[in-house]
Structure 1
Amino acid sequence: MADDIPAIPEGGFTSGGQLKAWLDRLPAEHKAPIALFIATQAALRALPLANLAFEDGNREPEWSRALTMAVFRANAISRAARKYPASEIGNAAAAASSSAAASSAASASAAASAASSSASSAAYAADAAADATAAYADAAAAARAARAAAYAADAAASAAASSAAAASSASAAAYAARAAAADVWNETTADAHLAARREITRRDIDFPLWSGKQPAWWLKEWRSLRSRLNALGVRKGGGAGSGNWKVWTDWYAARIEGKATSWGSSTNQSDELERRIALGDHGRSGFWEQEPEDINAEIAKWIAEARSPELPPEILPTTRKRSGKKNPASALENVHEQLKDLVDTAARQEETVGALRQSAEKTLNETDPPKPPPATEATPILTDEATAVDRLGRAPFARALAERMDRVWLNGAAEGFAAHLHGPWGSGKSSVFRMMENILSTKARRFLTPDARRAAARLGNGADDAPRWVVVRFNAWQNERHKLPWWPLVREVNRAVGGSLWEGGWPRWKTAFWRWPLHWGSWLTWRGVSDFPHLLLTALGLLLLAALAWAFSGEAKPADPGFLLTLADRFLGDHFPLFKLPEKPPSPFDGSVAALSGGVAKVLAFLGGVIALGPILQRFMFGSEGAAKIYSDLASDPLLTLKRQFTRIVRRARAPVAIFIDDLDRCNAEFVCNLLEGIQSTFRNSDVAYVVAADRFWVKSSFEQRYEKFGESVGDAGQPLGYLFLDKLFQLSIPLPILSRATVEQYLKDLLRPPPGEKEFVSANSESADEKTTGIHPTPSPSAPAPDYEAELKTARERVRSLKSGPLTQQSGEALIAELGDTHVSREAVALEFARSEAAVAEAKHVLHEYDECMPANPRVMKRMLNAFGLRQQIGFIGGDPLPLGVVARWTILEQRWPALADLLGEKPSRIIAFQKDNAEDDSALAPFAGNREIITVVGLNAADALTEAHVARLAKGE
């Protein structure tokens, strides 16, 4: 059937007009049943919103009860009509449609609130469903059924939006309304997909109302409606519940789950009851004109009659006459005898069980309990290698940093991007690199050409237009032996780019056949040119080696007067007659033994020379310090040629290149400074992003050692010389997110948990009460993402975009998280979308603008502050408890402008109190900063959002 069904709009239906247009394109034989199916499902989803008819402080107005009855009636008749295609059912559906329409109009005039409007929409949806049912019998009325289905879906979505908005605060009402409407349209789209996969008939009615989790707004209304109706009394008095509305709430509960029966009855009984209700007691005049409670009372009586008591099969008579009249007395006697046998059997079984219990207790008392085997305490051997598996909740941070690199590249920064990820040894920087590599180079991303890059930028830098990066992993520590670090760096970039030419599918394969040879041909040519000096020296050395080997082979001796002439004749005589000596007559003493000994001597002499000169020649191999030094000494501008080759390599990648430099904080000061200065001065490129993972104290100290003589005159206490270099090198310097105590404890539990299949050792004093009673051990860390995490995140980001009706700021972001449900997926989705929001950037500028008096007159530092502030906000969203904007702004300014002071406060957060009390001079470590009014202003003396000890402890230490 799917071949006959037109394609459903990409992204699903979002309006009744879209749905009607799709229904109108259906083949004639499918239009009416599919329209009826969609209409009835939509109306059933909107039914609980009749609860809002009881709002506005009027719990039991007459029109509320009448509207609720009309909604139930129309939905019940629509269901019954699909099962029984009889003309009288169609007439009943038409009558129910009119009743629902009248009730909705009456409710709309009774109150003008949003709640009443939602209840009216629920009635309109039921009216449309009944109208679609009535139109089904007439083949020519298929278009009418399609119109009714679209109207039902539109009414359901409108009711859902009004309900959710009414239940939300004023600031979140718009988001709530859009989310609720989206829920209804998503399910309507799912109904259409279901119809496209199978041939829907009018009897296909037993499907759950919600394909996934029931929305919170809908569940709230349904529970409220059920409680209110079940508690209602009769109109003219009576106890709670005597209104018999339970007949309808039980019926609807079965519809929610997609059950084929209602009221706990059998299939035949349920079908007959629903048909009788639809026909109004088989067409009895005036049935539906009664009071709602009177109608309910009659239906309750029918249900009770249908549930006639039956004897369980265990106690039915064993014999029964096939014909003739039954003997009631004989049947009762048989039942009595069987019940007596059952009682006797139960008594005997109880005696047996009692005897067994006494025997078991006696055995237990006479024997000692077995001793438990001695416990063996052991911990598994663990490696400390970097991992891409996120068990510490850092994958969201890695994704945020990766998408920030996306935006910088798409915006076309002239010098690319350089970020510094700092943290102490062993804090997990290499693992974050692994996660970023997986994110940036995943196959879900696309390689974008420069033209496509500009197009993606015009499209708003959407997540679907994220580029696929060529990732280069450069371990500085492993290449420290090269005193000039840019040679191995360029080699690693060339290797990664060459490998990427075959990645990305056919669009890149078809060009790789000529680009790959061109890439490596260019590389080998450049190597030949750059290696020419030491290749020439190597050739001369080999020539000298051959000459010496021949000289000491016995044919000539260096002490002979004619040695040089003989040497020239040996190597040049065949090509230049001038050096050719006349041939001597053969010696009578020449023999085979002399020839053999001479050949052996030549071989041994040559091998000895190779062994002796090998280490010397090794110094001239490409990439070595000797080769680089010779090239640098002989070339007029050695780095210019290397820079041009680097630019050619990057250009041939046709993709952005991310260079991850790891373990730099293991290298000596000279190597650290040479590498970072070379990157800054020579190897910056618009298509290259550098991320350097290193302890910032190590990098700071390296530059201070190298430029020790400048330290006294350059920099100050708050920003020493080493930090000035960091400011110059990196546009973003951000610490690795600090781990909370709860995360550390959970990670330790994960490490101590044995591999699957091995029994976990639990000491006598370490087992918790839950483990003792259930034997269940703690579950793995919730920070480890599920296999379908990427799909969940993508869906959550799409929902954030659909719910976002205005600028996305921190306040609206928090409202979105509350609307979506406070989970790690929703927090990460909001954090990532927040970084793309122009309003967020404007908000950051506005907040930082309030501290203009503390801003330095340095544009670079101001940009760094803005970058760091935005990433801090994202980290706050991801952590689930963002700090106030003023607190984050104050700490960002202090950290970026006085990093040395931030280090001191991070070591001991209580030092912030000295600035709050303006007595920093009492602490020797803070003495250089005492009396600095700008620092006191940033800390916030007597301000509502002042930095406190708790704020510093959380921002700097994660406490």
Structure 2
Amino acid sequence: MPGEVTLTGVGAGFTLPAPARAARDLAGIGANPVDALSALDQLIIDRRHTPSPEIARFTAVAGGVQRQRHLDSASDRDEITRSTALATLIAVDGSIAEALTEAGLRVTDFLTVIGIRSVPDTAEVPDARLDPIFATAVRHYLTSKGGRVVTLTDLALAILQSSRAAGDGRLPDRLEKLGLDYERAISTLERQIEDAYFAEAEPSSGFEAEVESEAESRAAGEAPDSTTEAAPDRAPETSERTRWTTDGAATDDLLGRRFLAQVLASRLRGLSGSHTGSFLVHIDGPWGSGKSSLLQFLETELAPSFLLVNVNAWREQQVGVQWWTLHNALRAAIQADSRHRIWARVRSRIDAIRTRLMPFVAVLVLILLAVALALLARLDLTTGSALADALGKILSLGALAVAGLTAVYRLLMPESRLSAEAFVAKSANPMGQVQLLFSRTLRRTRKSVVFLIDDLDRCDEKYIIDFLEVVQTLVREAPVRRHTPGRRDRRHEPPAGPYAFIAADGQWIRSSYESHFDSVKITTVPGRPLGYLFLEKIFQLQVRLPSITEDAKRAYLDSLLTGATAQRPSAAQQALATELTAEVNRATTGPQIDRAAAKADGLISAESRMQVRGAAAVKLSNPVLQAGARHELSRYWKLLEPNPRSIKLVVHTYGTLQSLRTLEGIPVQRTPLALWTIVEIRWPQLADHLRAHPDDIENRAGTPEPAATLLASPEVQAVIASPVWGPLTPDQVRDCTGFRVGASPDTIPDSRTDTD
């Protein structure tokens, strides 16, 4: 019969249906109808498309084929792989088979290679799951399409496009060896979809015919038939109304920021447990990227184990006394956290007096001497008639003494902006006394102190520089905790820290330093201008906010338009996510965590995928695993700069980038990530350029200065083109920086899971 393709030979033995009979033949496969949504149906719906009726049946048939392959040891996967899906599509849809045959694919050989004996006679598996790579291929394909009905031809296109785009897994190699012309096959399938679309768009029937019939009835004076059903292709009613929302920090986590907060909190707990000193973290991101929301989630994760001190630098800018802003916020947080707030306030006053004890005692002695002299000179207590008058004078002098002491305290102690300025102005060693007061206040709590500083990038240039200098002096250089090994009573030991998370746009901060010190002439370190050097000196770690995935962006927009949060995943999806999360938690090595996290790509629900990836990112911050990461980095010691601070930054940054990319669902290999981390620490200016222009790492034609000179330098080439570890490619740069996520979160096939 014309249009049919008969397969013969090993692994074949059945006839493929002609295109006109494809849907009918597919619906007839199997005895039991598929009522529930299949995993593929749900994935399509989750991407705002509509699955055609044959999708569920296809999934059930392909699931049976995959099970048979698994039982025959032809595949080591039990989820539907791309190879199985493509073979099933060939068997059940003649138009797809013809397109691939015309493109040079030897279909019988393909079925033989992947070990498929029969498709129509295979027992169905309605609840079959999708292999992560197959799910990623479909998800990426649908992301680039507008909402529509998804057919089997769309699935074939998704598989071919993913196979052509990346060489991971076995399918690309198989299709290449069997002689498939990708361009011809994809072009033919795209033309089939277009032809089907325009055929369905013909107005000979449907809504336009119904409107025409109703108009004719009204013209004839007849009432329209109210029993007539609405045309199936009438667009659903939509709303164009929007609502206003505040610009405050988020309370519902729609962008995955809470998991990043958990990662940072986990690392901070490990740091505080090692009895170390201070640690400052820079949360970098442009305005409106969610830095304030991250700080709020971080506060939730750290409380109540840590004492959280919130400081809004923009709001406090008008006060102008930066050290007093920090100290006042610290003192208020300690008093609020204390069970005896009055006693905490008294102890705070005592600390202030102790800081400037000599001036305070001197004034106090003078006042007491004045009172004593007044009593001796004017009072005569020998006559009983004058007793009442004497008592009144004594009380008056006492009140005067109290008023004098109060005035002296307010003058000498930093209780207000003016007194804080006077506190510094009247001292021979002002910052020394401020440090002493600050350290004494820190010791008034048994918890480690964490400063959460926001909106510094809203302040002017001078205030930013002065504020960070104060943070450097009071927080970074705070006294280190003294630990006595074997000591039983640790009630009087100062806690670890203090720590600080400062959220600000890095470019804004760097430009402030470079503008302020424009007249200062120093020898510029290649790839690290003055602004970068200052930030490197202040902060031990810089965390750039991760990119927003397509899933998160869609969910966030929907929440703004509808006011509702993301739809909860089904019970089956929740159970599978829980199973994968448990697998992540059982993992004991980095590769095991990576493999478990990669399986999240097969989940339909975006929330479930984020749950598994978040658990993996937190697990990677485990101190034991971090020790393994440091051992992994030891192989690259020759590429590191001979600078202790730079080496520490490499270690800190590598682990953080590993967690960030895991959150985004990007499987990054360890060697490219290590090379990129070295580039980011040694030449941060070059890293910022490559983050925006990754192709310049290979093609330097037209690359602007100073990036072109840096890329050509022997030091940079030793890292990015290392004969042992390199080269570092543009795609690897995109992976390491999370660049691909902004375009689409699911474009990265993972060779560690696609074994078929």
Distance 1:931 1:951, change over 3 A: closer
Distance 1:528 1:432, change over 3 A: same
The one-letter amino acid of 1:905's match is L
1:436 alignment partner, one of 267, 274, 298: 298
Q: How many residues align?
A: 484
1:955 alignment partner, one of 729, 732, 737: 737
2:448 alignment partner, one of 656, 679, 684: 656
Distance 1:825 1:749, change over 3 A: closer
1:420 alignment partner, one of 252, 270, 282: 282
In the alignment, the residues of structure 2 paired with residue 497 and residue 625 of structure 1 have an alpha-carbon distance, to the nearest angstrom, of 20
> Displacement, 1:407?
0.8
Deviates more, 1:945-954 or 1:727-736: 945-954
Higher normalized helix content (fraction of residues): 1
1:736 alignment partner, one of 545, 558, 570: 545
1:404 alignment partner, one of 253, 267, 288: 267
Does the 8 Å CA contact 1:531/1:627 hold for their aligned counterparts? no
In the TM superposition, what are the counterparts of 1:296-335 in structure 2 within 5 Å? none
Q: Which residue of 2 aligns with 1:904?
A: 689
In the alignment, the residues of structure 2 paired with residue 825 and residue 795 of structure 1 have an alpha-carbon distance, to the nearest angstrom, of 11
In the alignment, the residues of structure 2 paired with residue 947 and residue 800 of structure 1 have an alpha-carbon distance, to the nearest angstrom, of 29
Does the 8 Å CA contact 2:282/2:502 hold for their aligned counterparts? yes
In the alignment, the residues of structure 1 paired with residue 354 and residue 593 of structure 2 have an alpha-carbon distance, to the nearest angstrom, of 60
Counterpart secondary structure, 2:308? strand
Q: Which residue of 1 aligns with 2:615?
A: 829
The one-letter amino acid of 1:858's match is N
Q: Which residue of 1 aligns with 2:595?
A: 814
Q: Which residue of 1 aligns with 2:637?
A: 852
Does the 8 Å CA contact 2:309/2:450 hold for their aligned counterparts? yes
In the TM superposition, what are the counterparts of 1:527-546 in structure 2 within 5 Å? 527=352
In the TM superposition, what are the counterparts of 1:196-211 in structure 2 within 5 Å? none
Counterpart secondary structure, 2:589? coil
CA deviation profile, 1:165-189 (whole Å, cap 9, x unmatched): x99969xxxxxxxxxxxxxxxxxxx
CA deviation profile, 1:110-154 (whole Å, cap 9, x unmatched): xxxxxxxxxxxxxxxxxxxxxxxxxxxxxxxxxxxxxxxxxxxxx
2:335 alignment partner, one of 498, 514, 525: 498
In the alignment, the residues of structure 1 paired with residue 674 and residue 306 of structure 2 have an alpha-carbon distance, to the nearest angstrom, of 32
From the CA coordinates, give the structure whose radius of gyration is larger: 1
Q: Which residue of 2 aligns with 1:547?
A: none
2:463 alignment partner, one of 662, 671, 676: 671
RMSD between aligned residues: 5.1
In the alignment, the residues of structure 2 paired with residue 522 and residue 730 of structure 1 have an alpha-carbon distance, to the nearest angstrom, of 32
In the TM superposition, what are the counterparts of 1:33-52 in structure 2 within 5 Å? none
Q: Which residue of 2 aligns with 1:630?
A: 422
> Displacement, 1:899?
1.0
Q: Which residue of 2 aligns with 1:889?
A: 674
Does the 8 Å CA contact 2:309/2:330 hold for their aligned counterparts? yes
2:507 alignment partner, one of 689, 692, 697: 697
Does the 8 Å CA contact 1:419/1:690 hold for their aligned counterparts? yes
Which structure 1 segments of 5+ residues have no match?
1-162, 171-230, 233-240, 242-357, 443-467, 502-511, 540-570, 580-616, 757-779
Counterpart secondary structure, 2:281? strand
Counterpart secondary structure, 1:477? helix
Counterpart secondary structure, 1:483? coil
In the alignment, the residues of structure 2 paired with residue 853 and residue 737 of structure 1 have an alpha-carbon distance, to the nearest angstrom, of 29
Q: Which residue of 1 aligns with 2:207?
A: none
The one-letter amino acid of 1:434's match is Q
2:698 alignment partner, one of 909, 912, 916: 916
Does the 8 Å CA contact 1:940/1:947 hold for their aligned counterparts? no
Does the 8 Å CA contact 2:310/2:453 hold for their aligned counterparts? yes
In the alignment, the residues of structure 2 paired with residue 488 and residue 537 of structure 1 have an alpha-carbon distance, to the nearest angstrom, of 28
The one-letter amino acid of 1:952's match is R
> Displacement, 1:702?
2.7
Counterpart secondary structure, 1:481? coil
In the alignment, the residues of structure 2 paired with residue 933 and residue 797 of structure 1 have an alpha-carbon distance, to the nearest angstrom, of 45
Q: Which residue of 2 aligns with 1:22?
A: none
> Displacement, 1:529?
6.0
Query: RCO greater where, 1 or 2, for CA within 8 Å and sep 6 or more?
Result: 2
In the alignment, the residues of structure 1 paired with residue 445 and residue 728 of structure 2 have an alpha-carbon distance, to the nearest angstrom, of 49
CA deviation profile, 1:60-95 (whole Å, cap 9, x unmatched): xxxxxxxxxxxxxxxxxxxxxxxxxxxxxxxxxxxx
Distance 1:717 1:836, change over 3 A: same
Does the 8 Å CA contact 1:386/1:428 hold for their aligned counterparts? yes
CA deviation profile, 1:245-268 (whole Å, cap 9, x unmatched): xxxxxxxxxxxxxxxxxxxxxxxx
Q: Which residue of 1 aligns with 2:393?
A: none
Q: TM-score, normalised by structure 2?
A: 0.54
In the TM superposition, what are the counterparts of 1:213-292 in structure 2 within 5 Å? none
Distance 1:894 1:377, change over 3 A: same
In the TM superposition, what are the counterparts of 1:584-603 in structure 2 within 5 Å? none
Counterpart secondary structure, 2:255? coil
In the TM superposition, what are the counterparts of 1:460-539 in structure 2 within 5 Å? 468-501=305-338, 512=339, 516-527=341-352
CA deviation profile, 1:246-305 (whole Å, cap 9, x unmatched): xxxxxxxxxxxxxxxxxxxxxxxxxxxxxxxxxxxxxxxxxxxxxxxxxxxxxxxxxxxx
Distance 1:791 1:735, change over 3 A: farther
> Displacement, 1:938?
2.7
> Displacement, 1:433?
0.5
Counterpart secondary structure, 2:656? helix
The one-letter amino acid of 2:670's match is L
Q: TM-score, normalised by structure 1?
A: 0.43
Q: Which residue of 2 aligns with 1:23?
A: none
Distance 1:790 1:636, change over 3 A: farther
Identity %: 25
In the alignment, the residues of structure 1 paired with residue 574 and residue 412 of structure 2 have an alpha-carbon distance, to the nearest angstrom, of 50
Does the 8 Å CA contact 2:283/2:545 hold for their aligned counterparts? yes
Distance 1:794 1:819, change over 3 A: closer
In the TM superposition, what are the counterparts of 1:57-206 in structure 2 within 5 Å? none
Distance 1:624 1:497, change over 3 A: closer
Does the 8 Å CA contact 1:916/1:940 hold for their aligned counterparts? no
In the alignment, the residues of structure 2 paired with residue 785 and residue 645 of structure 1 have an alpha-carbon distance, to the nearest angstrom, of 53
In the alignment, the residues of structure 1 paired with residue 343 and residue 536 of structure 2 have an alpha-carbon distance, to the nearest angstrom, of 39
> Displacement, 1:531?
8.3
Does the 8 Å CA contact 1:810/1:840 hold for their aligned counterparts? no
Counterpart secondary structure, 1:408? helix
Q: Which residue of 1 aligns with 2:7?
A: none
In the alignment, the residues of structure 1 paired with residue 600 and residue 555 of structure 2 have an alpha-carbon distance, to the nearest angstrom, of 28
> Displacement, 1:755?
4.1
In the alignment, the residues of structure 2 paired with residue 891 and residue 365 of structure 1 have an alpha-carbon distance, to the nearest angstrom, of 77
> Displacement, 1:837?
5.5
CA deviation profile, 1:751-803 (whole Å, cap 9, x unmatched): 1x2447xxxxxxxxxxxxxxxxxxxxxxx436x9999x99999986655444x
Q: Which residue of 2 aligns with 1:111?
A: none
Distance 1:651 1:818, change over 3 A: same
Which structure 2 segments of 5+ residues have no match?
1-69, 78-120, 124-212, 227-234, 365-370, 380-408, 481-495, 604-608, 744-756
Distance 1:716 1:931, change over 3 A: same
> Displacement, 1:671?
2.3
2:646 alignment partner, one of 858, 861, 869: 861
In the alignment, the residues of structure 2 paired with residue 364 and residue 884 of structure 1 have an alpha-carbon distance, to the nearest angstrom, of 72
The one-letter amino acid of 2:250's match is T
